[in-house]
Structure 1
Amino acid sequence: MDLERFRERLSRYDFDPYQPHRVSYFCYLFITKGQGQHMIDFKRYPYQSGSVIFVNRNQVHAFDPDDFPQGTMINISTEFFSNSSSNIRTSYFAPFHQSMASSPVLTTLPEELYESCRVLLEEIKKALYDEADDDVVVQLLTSALLIKLGRQRKSHLSHLSEHQKERFDLFLSLVEQHFFEAREALQYAQWMHTSYKNLNQLCKSCCGRTTKQLIDFRIILEIKRKLVMDGLSVQQTADDLGFEDITHFNKYFKRLTNLTPAAYKREKNAEEPRRSPSPHGGRYSPCPAS
């Protein structure tokens, strides 16, 4: 969907895109003109003309109310990825989990890659509005686009072997599946049939963080989402994430954020909301698909 058309249709939606909201699919924003900051999981990332913004499934994001960028938004369901997998066999195909090793924003695409993506976007638009029932063309074109962007995002990992990349992706997938129940690095090492030391070295090589730091990062992120986005109490959040002792839960969160969960919740609730030019409804509805 064209971003200008998206803004023109705000009155049809039951959410405010300029306030934090969670999406249930993958969202890709290609910025052709504009400059601002896009909020993803409570952190603001600068963008400019030529940037690409990646929002993964279940992430919280918000558009910048002070900028009205031009460009294209693509929303992709997990079902689309599943259907496409039968036509694509490559380790660069976009993963279903959050990539902690790559920035959510490619600030500026190289000129050759930008032109290639522009052409692919135009072909995808044509294929989407083609009357033909076969959607394989859309799958292949979109896959080609995401593979090109995925390679650019992983370019800083070129010193790693394919085996290392696959192992790191496996670890991230395990974290996404089990962070509710497993908070210790040793458990993940056992699931991966490796040693704690080897897994730690892998994580440091891929993204400069230890295994435990990545696990804690995912847990803290979920705590913030539940406190702020879902409006849960501190006790409810602790229960949801399997913390049997509320005192331990408070100490855990404070150790990693310098705030207690209650203080963090009060701080976020006290922040003045950034006014959007056309507010429409609640914070939790996903962006509409085109």
Structure 2
Amino acid sequence: MDRFDDIPNITYRSPRLAETGIDILDLEQFLGEICTAGANPYQPHRVGAFCFICIDEGEGQHFIDFHAYPYQSNSIIFINKGQVHAFDGDDTPRGKLVIMTPEFFSASSANIRTSYFVPVHQSLTALPVLPLSTGLRESTRTLLNEMRKAMEEGPDSSVIVQLLLSALLIRLAKQRESHLAHLSELQKERFGEFLRQVDTHYTEIQEASQYAQRMHTSYKCLNQLCKACCGHTAKQLIDFRIILEIKRKLAMDGLSVQQTAFELGFEDITHFIKYFKRHTGNTPAAFKRQHEG
């Protein structure tokens, strides 16, 4: 395969992506090319870039981090860097796929205060599928068309492309965050800080009280913050992140149950097995078998 790496990691390579850090592709064409190259987009795979899929026509489910999210026409599906996802083999959607390198996304993010792309852990509290209103749908198409025109002008237009992307992400993030309108800016900032802390330290810190200490607040206040922002306790969010990483390592990285337990800081394999089963209803070994082959 000359344009794609082997699954489970799929890396799309194109001159435009290498030159500018972003590419906008016809979705049908992309799926055809990736299959021709020998990869299977309908099986779980990990992506090393930021992507969003604009569904103009189609209806099905997109699989992200072992959960199925339904989508319909006029929706956008967000895939964060490092997430595991798969297309629905029963649907042939029409639309666009936008792929951005981490460097391009970082440069674009410098222009805005918020983004639809959130840390992997925070993505557990925000649905990755966004239905578009009529107005937002037209804005999205217009901005994507302007981005493509600017990209065709060459690398000298990279700043224009970044600003257009920033404008698009601001519009999309504004709709996503409408359910957080009751929160203050301080609450949003503190909640984001907690999620970043968990994403960085979940292998060595698994107790909510320890995160509260790191954030110079009380366990009670941290729990109240988490419940106000997403309806879950701090401990539940920590467990969500740990379980997600266990699933990734077992299903995608090919690690044994023992290796996975060790890498995630579990010294007692029996405790690890009980922990996973308590949260998923399945043993790690059974989960791994379900996702082999």
Secondary structure of residue in 2 paired with 1:38 = strand
Q: Cα deviation per residue 1:10-68 (whole Å; 9 max; x = unaligned)?
A: 25535211110011221101100011111011111111101110111111000011111
Determine whether 1:238 maps to 2:268: no
Q: Letter of the 2:236 partner, please give it.
A: Q
Determine whether 1:37 maps to 2:61: yes
Say how many residue pairs are matched.
268
Q: Distance in 1 between matches of 2:87 and 2:112?
A: 34
Partner of 2:225: 202
Secondary structure of residue in 2 paired with 1:67 = coil
Determine whether 1:136 maps to 2:131: no
Partner of 1:120: 143
**After alignment, is 88-97 or 108-117 more displaced?**
88-97
Shift in Å at residue 95 of structure 1? 3.5
Determine whether 1:152 maps to 2:175: yes
Partner of 1:46: 70
**After alignment, is 43-52 or 95-104 more displaced?**
95-104
Taking structure 1 as the reference length, the TM-score comes to: 0.88
Structure 1: runs of 5 or more not aligned: 274-290
Q: Distance in 2 between matches of 1:199 and 1:120?
A: 39
Secondary structure of residue in 2 paired with 1:72 = strand
Partner of 2:201: 178
Q: Distance in 2 between matches of 1:77 and 1:179?
A: 26
Q: Letter of the 1:221 partner, please give it.
A: L
Partner of 1:190: 213
Distance 1:125 1:245, change over 3 A: same
Q: Letter of the 1:31 partner, please give it.
A: I
Distance 1:261 1:4, change over 3 A: same
Q: Distance in 2 between matches of 1:263 and 1:190?
A: 37
Q: Distance in 2 between matches of 1:25 and 1:229?
A: 17
| Identical amino acids, percent of aligned pairs | 60
Q: Is the 8 A contact 2:50 2:105 kept in 1?
A: no
Q: Letter of the 2:27 partner, please give it.
A: L
Partner of 2:189: 166
**After alignment, is 152-161 or 88-97 more displaced?**
88-97
Q: Distance in 1 between matches of 2:115 and 2:252?
A: 32
Q: Distance in 2 between matches of 1:78 and 1:162?
A: 26
Match of 1:247 among 270, 274, 283: 270
Q: Letter of the 1:129 partner, please give it.
A: E
Any residues of structure 2 matched to 1:246-265 within 5 Å, and which?
246-265=269-288
Shift in Å at residue 131 of structure 1? 2.5
Distance 1:66 1:93, change over 3 A: closer
Q: Is the 8 A contact 1:78 1:96 kept in 2?
A: no
Q: Letter of the 1:102 partner, please give it.
A: A
Secondary structure of residue in 2 paired with 1:100 = helix
**After alignment, is 5-14 or 256-265 more displaced?**
5-14
Partner of 1:68: 92
Determine whether 1:222 maps to 2:245: yes
Shift in Å at residue 125 of structure 1? 1.1
Q: Distance in 2 between matches of 1:174 and 1:142?
A: 28
Shift in Å at residue 110 of structure 1? 1.1
Over 4 Å off, 4+ runs: none
State the superposition RMSD in angstroms: 1.6
Shift in Å at residue 181 of structure 1? 1.3
Q: Is the 8 A contact 1:30 1:50 kept in 2?
A: yes
Q: Letter of the 2:258 partner, please give it.
A: Q
Distance 1:247 1:207, change over 3 A: same
Shift in Å at residue 82 of structure 1? 2.2
Q: Is the 8 A contact 2:74 2:137 kept in 1?
A: yes
Q: Is the 8 A contact 1:93 1:143 kept in 2?
A: no
Distance 1:130 1:241, change over 3 A: same
Distance 1:217 1:11, change over 3 A: closer
Q: Letter of the 1:203 partner, please give it.
A: C
Shift in Å at residue 93 of structure 1? 6.9
Q: Is the 8 A contact 1:99 1:172 kept in 2?
A: no
Partner of 2:107: 83
